[in-house]
Amino acid sequence: MKKKADYIWKLGMFVIIGLAAFLVAVYFIGKSQNLFGSTFHLQAQFKNVSGLKTGNNVELSGINIGTIKDIAFVSDSAVVVNMVIRSEIQHYIKADAFASIGTDGLMGDKVLTISPGSNSDQIVKDHAMIRSNEAVGLEDLMAGLKKSVDNAEVITKQLSEFSFKINNGKGVLSKVLTDEHFADNIDQTLLNLKTTSDGFVLFSKNMNDKNGTISKLMTDPYYANSIKKMLSGFETSASDINVFTAKLNQGKGILPKLISDEKLANSFDSTMTNLQSGSKKLLEIEEAAKHNFLLKGFFKKQKKAEAKQKKKLEQSDKVK
């Protein structure tokens, strides 16, 4: 009888402890699922929930404020997530709030994070549909990573080809980097540029010198007026040349005929030929006359007179 009483007592204690554990579990589960408090509901629509499940937490600023009640398809490309959130949080969430899917830690469960919004004064209403930001999936990350790797491979290949062309090519860049003679030419060119630059600096300095010739030409009114007069003279000369050229082109005087009349030119050429021939014959006659016994004395006297005159000129030059 005593053994039976001990058995019943132990059984009762076990049942009580089990029931207490059950009630505690129900309390914590109900608390986490917001079963015992006042709640309100929100909805958000996503194209991809990225592994979000019913019962996952809903967070606001890193604090758990509710859970995912259910997830349902509304079309082949849209999923609606229903959330149960504690009522005391409602006045922190504005009408322009938006939801996004994240993870609880690096490898933790998925959570739905609500950003409270700030541009609206209206508090979100019960069963309202808030905006959503699509989560970046692992597939998208891998695709982006693959694209980056492919681009890096292409860039590496191009750099390799570029280096090969520089080391083995005959282009300008290859010569700049490898040809010593070409580099010397560039150095000389740079030196010439420096010399030119120094000369330009000196020229600018001379221009700024108030006592310099260039400065006077640019600032002194006397030089300016002289230059204006000179330019005016050039303009007048150019005008006279234009008039002279026009008269030549009209062909009314002797000079236009000499320039453009072929018949007159031939006649003038013939006259010059005759004059040349006549002068030659006169020289021959004069030479013959010098040897004639009748005129020989005359030419001797003339020669002596010329010699005497020449001597006087030389003496007068010495006196001076």
Q: Tens of pLDDT along 240-296? A: 777 777 766 666 666 566 566 666 666 766 777 767 776 676 666 666 655 655 555
Partnered with residue 43 across adjacent β-strands are: 82, 129
Please say if the pLDDT value at position 304 is more than 60: yes
Token pair, residue 84, equals 């149960």
Tell me the whole-structure pTM to 2 decimals. Answer: 0.39
Please say if the pLDDT value at position 168 is more than 90: no
Of 111, 104, 113, which Cα lies nearest the Cα of 61?
Answer: 113
Residue 215, burial from CB neighbour count under 10 angstroms (0-12, 13-18, 19+): middle
Report the chain's mean pLDDT, rounded to a whole number. Answer: 75
Of 36, 81, 16, which Cα lies nearest the Cα of 54?
Answer: 81
Q: Tens of pLDDT along 1-47? A: 566 666 677 777 777 888 888 777 766 666 655 555 688 999 999 98
Whole-number pLDDT of residue 9: 74
Please state, in angstroms and rounded to a whole number, the distance separating the CA atoms of residues 87 and 41. 9
For 248, residues 6+ apart whose C-beta sits below 8 A from its C-beta are 255, 256, 259
Give Cα separations from 40 to 37, 69, 83 (angstroms): 10, 11, 8
CB 80 within 8 A of CB 71: yes
DSSP string, 113-139: EEE--SS--SBPPTTEEEEEE----HH
pLDDT over 70, % of the chain: 62
Look-up: residue for tokens 């029931």?
19
Question: Which CATH fold would you assign to the domain 37-135?
Answer: Elongation Factor Tu (Ef-tu); domain 3 (2.40.30)
Whole-number pLDDT of residue 68: 92
Whole-number pLDDT of residue 151: 82
